[in-house]
Amino acid sequence: MADARFHRTAGPFTLQEIAAAAGGQPGENADVARRYSGIATLTEAGPDQVSFLDNRRYVPAFSESRAGACIVHPRFASRAPAGMALVLCEDPYRGYARVAAKFHPEPLRPHGIHPAAQVDPGARLGPDPAIEAGVVIEADVQLGARCWIGANSVIRAGVIIGDDARIDAHVSVSHATIGHRVRLFPGVRIGQDGFGYVLGANGHLKVPQLGRVVIGDDVEIGANTAVDRGSLTDTSIGDGTVIDNLVQIGHNVRIGRCCVIAGLTGISGSCQLGDFVILGGQVGIAGHLRLGDGAQAAAQSGIHRDVPAGEMVGGTPAIPMREFRRLVGALRRLGRRSPAAGAEE
Amino acid sequence: MADARFHRTAGPFTLQEIAAAAGGQPGENADVARRYSGIATLTEAGPDQVSFLDNRRYVPAFSESRAGACIVHPRFASRAPAGMALVLCEDPYRGYARVAAKFHPEPLRPHGIHPAAQVDPGARLGPDPAIEAGVVIEADVQLGARCWIGANSVIRAGVIIGDDARIDAHVSVSHATIGHRVRLFPGVRIGQDGFGYVLGANGHLKVPQLGRVVIGDDVEIGANTAVDRGSLTDTSIGDGTVIDNLVQIGHNVRIGRCCVIAGLTGISGSCQLGDFVILGGQVGIAGHLRLGDGAQAAAQSGIHRDVPAGEMVGGTPAIPMREFRRLVGALRRLGRRSPAAGAEE
Amino acid sequence: MADARFHRTAGPFTLQEIAAAAGGQPGENADVARRYSGIATLTEAGPDQVSFLDNRRYVPAFSESRAGACIVHPRFASRAPAGMALVLCEDPYRGYARVAAKFHPEPLRPHGIHPAAQVDPGARLGPDPAIEAGVVIEADVQLGARCWIGANSVIRAGVIIGDDARIDAHVSVSHATIGHRVRLFPGVRIGQDGFGYVLGANGHLKVPQLGRVVIGDDVEIGANTAVDRGSLTDTSIGDGTVIDNLVQIGHNVRIGRCCVIAGLTGISGSCQLGDFVILGGQVGIAGHLRLGDGAQAAAQSGIHRDVPAGEMVGGTPAIPMREFRRLVGALRRLGRRSPAAGAEE
């Protein structure tokens, strides 16, 4: 249940309104005019709250829930407790997300430029900006309409950002063009030098990093994630891609549309990811590799070869998931049967 | 030996005072009135300094040390060089920590609100605050007594922080309630959105993140670590837990009391850790798992199943440590005997 | 091709000037007086641009390139397309780096102290400082000549930094002495407490962290990397070492000269690395280990033993690379032949 101290709230809403928001149908005999005041988990929800079931493992909790209403797939309707109003949805998690957004709208944006922000006179800001305290915006920056730049962020010279960007506190951006509706979470680093040196026995020579970072629309980048600019071409991130916290993206990496990249993953320089690629947490990808559209990698995979479109890999070095599962089974047997490591070492 | 340029110093102290601070006893025939001026390692300490021995591997260095005094377990007393005064301690590392704190007290806190800080008039600050330059404190924030907020940190609306917090530079906190005596190191990110989306073939729908972060008393969180807020319930960290740098803690994670979590570890959403859980560096834990009280994971473990209380695991996927040690031995033999990889590939 | 919006440009330059910068020789019959306007990749370069070939895999692109000139090893000269002027170089990547720096000089440094910076009157700044907005410089800080401190960075009391440092936005530095020509990228954390506690059943006792961080000359440290100060001795990083983004360096670690450490790597407390050590991404090193001069570790290695000078290791636990390659081959065969994991589990 959302704490009103931190989250805006709306409502109450009728079951009819909730079903419409969810893209679902009220269950048989449900009182569509009854009003609900908020959302909560199956175990915490009370009679005037709405909950949801999207995972088979929570069916017992569903059957015992005191929630007044629940968003649920029709196949589980018969497991509902007596008196619970249902909202039947083919995709109950999507339905829940929409209902949650109805009860708890996005926070209100501030308006204007805080007097303790430093905006270069040569920067061009679109209509209705929100520039918080301590922000630094350098010369020739272009911001679209309704940009929201969080406290103490630094936008370096020449950066271009589209409409409705929401950049949180302590973000730094340089050498970048960024699309519409992009969200950057606190501590994101965009556009610093890539890690490029000519190694030598008398010391390493820095290679000038002369590219940019190009980010599409509707991209989200998590806290303290770093995206280096390209060395001569660009580092790019396609529309709709979402990236978790503490991810490292090297120079010249090209990421397609709607990829999902979990925390602490590292993508080495010049890799190319297609669209809808999914990477688990702590995945590592060696340089110059290609992952085709829809490729997936299990958490902690270490990828050393190209991954064809649609293939799922796991392990280090990463192998097709089917082989990896077999290997894991074989290793478990080996661990159980082998003499202790000390025996030979 | 601590550099007075960076660390406050006190003393000199007599051996009697040092033994009392250490919770130990002066060794036989030691001159308890003799004064010592500071602490140093066994190899660096001189006649007017105190050292300590807490690791068997350093017994030779102990036997050759020029330290005037040494905090040591009674079992090693006979190995001391002639003329070294001893402080006998059952737990010499703990004794050392206390003596170190006696010679080098915590830094002095500044007082007051720097004129270049931005404190919303609706924030409530406890007595004797220290708010450094560039700090932003938004509306309805509540800070306890003697809070110390480091330069350029940002405390978002509604956040509650207990007494004697010490928050270093560049920290961002939102959607959070935080206990007493908590330390957050530079670049910590607390309370941003968790990584939650409904995946879909036409793009991913963001799931509103409507929970909080709840942090207990005496928690320490390392530099650039990120703790996401819950999606509908809370992310929580229990009293006395300590977390290293660059750790990722996902939404809805519940961490018990007095856990120890080393650097670059990632804990996926909705995991539950009991009390006194210890995780090595670069550990990864898949979502929705439970680790019982006192569970331990070796560095780089990849945990894919619940871990019972008291069990230690290692490897990826993680298995009981005894099995993992056997497996490692078997793999070493395999690596030595197998034909080169190229032979088949 | 560098975007003039973000990168300074110089030129055009004659082939003679380019060859001189590259440390190479104009190819036979090349028109050394012809001028070129910039640099670009083999596939993007046009007739008035210079490209380079440093990787055998791009020879076909070289043979089809429209670049007017190309920096190339003499052995590939015969593969050049008709009409391409060559610059023959024994080390074409090094030659390219120098030519790139000639066409695109480092950005111009600002001058002076921004009125929105907070510089303690007791700090000593060398000649011609560049202190950006929101910077906090505390008492007794010493900065060398021409130091450039990026927006909102925080330099704590007593820190010493040499000449020509370039510290980007949002960096925090405490308890540290730093050499000449050092670059710290956005979000770097230097000098915070190491992760040291006396563990106990009733809670963990913090061990005072009384050392420093000592950084040599010509060191580069990547975005959001953290370097903890020593516990009683120092954490140190030798001249010419380069460190990527999101790396964790624990207390008392000693890193030699000209090491190369890739992203998301973690080095536990009290490790000692010699000179010219190379660590891939996501490597983990357990505490108190030694890696000799020139040791190398493949990405994602987990190092649990000392590594002799010159040895390359891979895997977790890390083993000599030759054994690791054999092991990988054996495991691939095992994964292909074994029954599915479910069969026994």
What is the distance in angstroms between the Cα of B74 and the nearest Cα belonging to chain A? 31
| Structure tokens that stand for C18 in this block | 């380019």
Of C204, C328, C330, the CB nearest to B240: C204
DSSP B29-66: T--TT-EE-EE--TTT--TTEEEE--SGGGHHHHHT--
Give A263's strand partners.
none
Model pLDDT, residue C337: 80
B47 — phi, psi (to 5°)? -60, -25
A115: part of which helix (H) or strand (E)?
none
Residue B343 has pLDDT above 50, yes or no: no
Contact B53, B69 (CB under 8 A): no
Q: Is the CB of A284 inside 8 Å of chain C's CB atoms?
A: yes
CA-CA-CA-CA torsion sign (A220, A224, A229, A235) = negative
Per-residue pLDDT tens digits for A47-58: 999 999 998 989
Cβ of residue C263 closer than 8 Å to a chain B Cβ: no
C-alpha to C-alpha distances, A194 to A250, A271, B275, C4, nearest whole angstrom: 6, 13, 41, 18
Strand partners, C26: C87
Neighbour-count burial for C24-48, b at 16+ CB within 10 Å, e otherwise? bebbeebeeebebbbbbbbeebeee
User: Which amino acid appears at position A197 of this protein?
Assistant: Y
Which of the residue ranges B85-89, B336-340, C180-184 would you say has the lowest mean pLDDT? B336-340
Q: For residue C83, with 0-12 CB atoms within 10 Å meaning exposed, 13-18 middle and 19 or more buried, which class applies?
A: exposed
The verdict on a CB contact (< 8 Å) between B206 and A223 is no
Which residue in C94, C169, C338 is closest to A154 by CB distance? C169
- CA-based nearest residue in chain A for residue B141: A5
- Selected catalytic residue, list A73, A170, A175, A251: A251
| Chain A nearest CA to B238, separation (Å) | 20
A27 has pLDDT over 50: yes
Alpha carbon distance B22, B243 (integer Å): 26
A64/A53 Cα distance (integer angstroms): 12
**pLDDT value of residue A336:** 84
Out of 2.160.10.10, 3.20.20.330, 3.30.365.10, 2.60.40.650, select the CATH number for domain A253-345: 2.160.10.10
Structure token pair of residue A224? 């303290």
Distance between CA atoms of C326 and C173, rounded to whole angstroms? Answer: 45
| Helix extents (H) in chain B | 15-22, 59-63, 92-103, 321-337
Q: What is the pLDDT of residue B1?
A: 79
C245 interface with B at CB cutoff 8 Å: no
Q: What token pair was written down for C199?
A: 């563990």
Q: Please tell me if residue A75 touches chain B, with a CB cutoff of 8 Å.
A: no
Q: Do A344 and B332 touch (CB under 8 A)?
A: yes
* Section B105-119 average pLDDT: 97
- State phi, psi for B165 to the nearest 5 degrees: -70, 150
B residues 84-143 closer than 8 Å to C (CB): 91, 93-94, 96-98, 100-101, 104, 114, 116, 132-134
Instruction: Report yes or no: A222 at the C interface, CB cutoff 8 Å.
Output: no
Backbone angles phi, psi at A248, to 5 degrees: -115, 125
* A283-305: average pLDDT: 98
Where in chain C are all domains bearing CATH 2.160.10.10?
110-252
Mean pLDDT of A166-189: 98
State the burial class of residue B253 (Cβ atoms within 10 Å of its Cβ: 0-12, 13-18, 19+): buried
Out of C39, C218, C341, the one facing A326 most closely (by C-beta) is C341
Q: Distance between CA C247 and CA C266 in Å, rounded?
A: 6
Task: Considering the domain delimited by B112-217+229-237, tell me its CATH architecture.
Answer: 3 Solenoid (2.160)
Q: What is the pLDDT of residue C340?
A: 59
Residue C336 has a pLDDT of: 84
pLDDT confidence of residue C335? 81
Task: Show residues of chain A in contact with C3, CB under 8 Å.
Answer: 175, 211-212
Residue of chain A nearest C247, judged by CA positions: A248
Residue A339 has pLDDT above 90, yes or no: no
Q: Which residue in C6, C109, C246 has the most chain A C-beta atoms within 10 A of its own C-beta, making it the best mutation to test that interface? A: C6
Rounded-to-integer distance, Cα B52 and Cα B92, Å: 7
B194 beta partners: none
Containing H/E element for C60? helix C59-64
DSSP string, B236-268: EE-TT-EE-TT-EE-TT-EE-TT-EE-TT-EE-
C170 interfacial to chain B (CB closer than 8 Å): yes
* CB proximity under 8 Å: B 178-217 to C: 185-187
**Closest approach of chain C CAs to the CA of A208, in angstroms?**
6
Cα(A273)–Cα(B336) distance, rounded to whole angstroms? 36
Question: From the centroid of its chain, how far is CA A9?
Answer: 23
Instruction: Answer whether C316 touches A (CB < 8 Å).
Output: yes
Query: Average pLDDT, stretch A218-241?
Result: 98
Residue range(s) of every CATH 3.40.1390.10 domain in chain A: 13-103
Report angle CA A311, A327, A320 to the nearest 5 degrees: 10
Half-sphere exposure (CA, 13 Å, Cβ side) for C268? 20
Interval C211-247: pLDDT, tens: 999 999 999 999 999 999 999 999 999 999 999 999 9
Q: What are phi and psi of B87, to 5 degrees?
A: -120, 110
C-alpha to C-alpha distance for B298 and A127, rounded to whole angstroms: 53
The pLDDT of residue C191 is: 98
User: How far, CA to CA in Å, does B174 sit from each of A33, A335, C154?
Assistant: 36, 45, 22
Q: Which residues of C touch A207 (CB under 8 A)?
A: 93, 96-97, 100
- d(C-alpha B164, C-alpha B158), whole Å: 18
Render pLDDT for B293-316 as a digit per residue (tens, 0 to 9): 999 999 999 999 999 999 999 999
Q: C189-218: b or e for each residue (b if 16 or more CB lie within 10 Å)? A: bbbbbbbbbbeeeebbbbbbbbbbbbbbbb
Closest CA to B273 of B231, B241, B301, B315: B241
CA distance C261 to C244: 6
| Closest in B97, B134, B260 to C208, CB measured | B97
Candidate from C258, C300, C335 with C-beta closest to A316: C300
The Cβ of residue A200 has, within 10 Å, a number of other Cβ atoms equal to 12
Whether residue A272 has pLDDT greater than 60: yes
Taking residues A67-83, report their average pLDDT.
Answer: 97
**Closest approach of B158 to chain A, Cα-based (Å):** 6
Q: What is the pLDDT of residues B241-294, one digit of tens each?
A: 999 999 999 999 999 999 999 999 999 999 999 999 999 999 999 999 999 999
Q: Are A228 and C168 in contact (CB under 8 A)?
A: no
Is CATH 3.40.1390.10 what the domain over A13-103 is classified as, yes or no? yes
Residue type, A345: E
Helix (H) or strand (E) holding A337: helix A321-337
Of the candidates C140, C144, C138, the residue with the CA atom closest to the CA atom of residue C179: C144
Of A101, A186, A246, the CB nearest to B246: A246
Q: Under CATH, domain A110-234 is a member of which superfamily?
A: Hexapeptide repeat proteins (2.160.10.10)
Residue A327, SS3? Answer: helix
- Count of CB atoms within 10 A of residue A272's CB? 18
Residue range A299-324: average pLDDT? Answer: 97
The pLDDT score that the predictor gives to residue B344 is 39
B8 CA to centre of own chain: 22
Q: Which residue has the tokens 């390359």?
A: C312
Residue B55: pLDDT band with limits 50, 70, 90? confident
Structure tokens at C327: 């092991």
Q: Residue-wise pLDDT tens for chain C (345 aa)?
A: 799 999 999 999 999 999 999 999 999 989 999 999 999 999 999 999 999 999 898 999 999 999 999 999 999 999 999 999 999 999 999 999 999 999 999 999 999 999 999 999 999 999 999 999 999 999 999 999 999 999 999 999 999 999 999 999 999 999 999 999 999 999 999 999 999 999 999 999 999 999 999 999 999 999 999 999 999 999 999 999 999 999 999 999 999 999 999 999 999 999 999 999 999 999 999 999 999 999 999 999 999 999 999 999 999 999 999 999 999 999 988 888 876 544 433
Question: Would you state the pLDDT for residue C338?
Answer: 72
**Which one-letter amino acid corresponds to residue A110?**
P
Average pLDDT over residues B168-195: 98
CATH code of the domain occupying C110-252: 2.160.10.10
- Find, among B243, B255, B263, B339, the residue nearest to B295 by Cα: B255
Mean pLDDT of A292-312: 98
Q: Chains A, B: CB contacts under 8 A, how many? A: 192
Q: Six-digit token pair at A320?
A: 């097709």
B333/C contact by beta carbon, under 8 A: no
pLDDT tens-digit series, residues B113-156: 999 999 999 999 999 999 999 999 999 999 999 999 999 999 99
Task: Tell me whether A305 touches chain C (CB under 8 Å).
Answer: no
- What interhelical angle do C15-22 and C92-103 show, nearest 10? 120
Domain boundaries for CATH 2.160.10.10 within chain B: 112-217+229-237
Q: Nearest-5° angle of CA B46, CA B49, CA B52? A: 100
Q: What type of residue is C80? A: A
Q: Do A260 and B205 touch (CB under 8 A)?
A: no
Q: Residue A169: its chain B contacts at CB < 8 A?
A: 136, 154, 156, 172
- Chain A closest-CA separation from residue B271 CA (Å): 14
